[in-house]
Structure 1
């Protein structure tokens, strides 16, 4: 418990201290957010807000893991590595967006609706990283191919299905976290609450490395929220959202609790599902929309709800889902 508290405070302090220095640095590099013309009009005023703040979050986790390296084991290093890898994929996407945007602006061009890596390029990188993680986990002596089943005492051995299951889980969670990052403080707050579940789970079941790692993620989210809450002074970008998604899913893998993301991370699931339903319905009906806009947080915006109200409701929903997740862990109450 002491290590968890210290890890939270250290990662929080790193982000709190470095972000104010990082914001003007990004502004000088013209790393400002590009707002889609098809998005909610209320977001136009956010254009130019520094993005790629996820770099500071990754640094906060890195510093904390280095400090506590002697108190943990190799699992902490691998969890950090996976988080940084997905953060790097997000960084590449953010960087390409910024380069393309600045080039178009300098040439007097019209900004296109989508900038950055092509979806196929991003997915190829994500699946490659996820495949390596899945194979590593399957042959890891303390992980193996079994997962914990919510609301039971069962450990379900997936056998050869474990590797494809983990690959899909990783890619799904990383992209769901990325889709959730659409309103000030939304992805940061939701992820922080989700990771709190894994922190409690890790503490209750003796996963020392994962409780330290979980605490470091909570700390950077707390620190970043001070600057990312509405009105945001900085955005995490794909750099931060993919890193957070990678952190959530790697913690679940090491604790063999992947299925609990469906409960605790229900907001992630709904955000991603809303996009899939919107695209499928649009294609099937020849242009009609199921929601006013997807992901679903934009649907609520276009219904007239204020951004801060939507974010708060999503945080509350996640907190309730986390409590349900804790109730689904009978091992904690034995």
Structure 2
């Protein structure tokens, strides 16, 4: 029965995204909500200027509609679902404000870093308050072992770092057509399996809804993209994957399953530190996907390669948790 519900969730969410996208794309184009491309980015990206952005609205709406439909139709609306929706919609709203400022001001800046961080911290605080009401353990499990460590009050800063860090890491990965949608679908699919294995039905349903939503969006976001998800989608997905990892008690495994996001973030950190300390760049451009573009790889080759890396890491993560 559960497998059937998961499949229904994925298909419904995929269908909603596929139906909504063609309606939203012309609407965003009429409002002139086009992406402005940073001047220091790869020259080949300049032709993408004006492509409708804020398509993440479609992803978030698909997740909300599908989750509510499946919850009331087959399960019940739980505290876990409420918390997952809180994080996804909350971070999506922060991203929406960022995107809105960008397209209205016609500049690739958006919210200041302090404004964005303040919004993320408020949502993280509300999420943690909900975790306390759920009575969730402050222990973290070491993957592939039976060892656990009780962090006590240190669990709060861990939750904050995970939510804020994951949302920004996923945001950095959203730089090529279909890159984030594909790697996101793989990572959320892995967590859907882990949640199902742990008998966390609500979390598995929510994860499946996200997989369907991003795959439906990918139909229009694959190269050449007809729409970008913008910060609306990337921040929402980043917050969601961290929240799912916390609720499934796979906090450390997130680093492996979300390895592509981690690698992208590390490439930026390494680039900044190297340039400030040595005056030299390690990569031709960061995040890492731009380095490979400037090295002569086609955009599609970079995207598919990152998908493959994401798939390998996701399978390894599932193996460590389920079969080890």
Shorter-chain TM range is over 0.9
- State yes or no: 1:87 paired with 2:89: no
Q: Which residue of 2 aligns with 1:226?
A: 219
Q: Which residue of 2 aligns with 1:67?
A: 69
SS of alignment partner, residue 140 of structure 2: strand
Match of 2:310 among 310, 318, 321: 318
Pairing of 1:237-256 with structure 2 (within 5 A)? 237-256=230-249
Q: What is the TM-score with the length of structure 1 in the denominator?
A: 0.93
Q: Which residue of 2 aligns with 1:77?
A: 82
Change (3 A) 1:2 1:155: farther
Match of 2:263 among 245, 267, 270: 270
Q: Which residue of 1 aligns with 2:116?
A: 122
| More displaced stretch, 131-140 vs 207-216 | 131-140
The Cα of 1:126 is off from its aligned counterpart by: 1.3
SS of alignment partner, residue 328 of structure 1: helix
8 Å contact from structure 2 (residues 83, 127) kept in 1: no
The Cα of 1:69 is off from its aligned counterpart by: 2.4
Match of 1:199 among 155, 167, 192: 192
8 Å contact from structure 2 (residues 28, 52) kept in 1: yes
- State yes or no: 1:171 paired with 2:164: yes
SS of alignment partner, residue 4 of structure 1: helix
**What's the RMSD between the two structures over aligned residues?**
1.3
Pairing of 1:293-308 with structure 2 (within 5 A)? 293-308=285-300
Give the length in aligned residue pairs: 319
SS of alignment partner, residue 147 of structure 1: strand
Match of 1:217 among 182, 189, 210: 210
The Cα of 1:131 is off from its aligned counterpart by: 2.6
8 Å contact from structure 2 (residues 86, 123) kept in 1: no
Match of 2:141 among 142, 148, 151: 148
The answer for unaligned runs of 5 or more in structure 1 is: 102-110
Q: Which residue of 1 aligns with 2:254?
A: 261
Q: What is the TM-score with the length of structure 2 in the denominator?
A: 0.96
Q: Distance in 2 between matches of 1:317 and 1:60?
A: 27
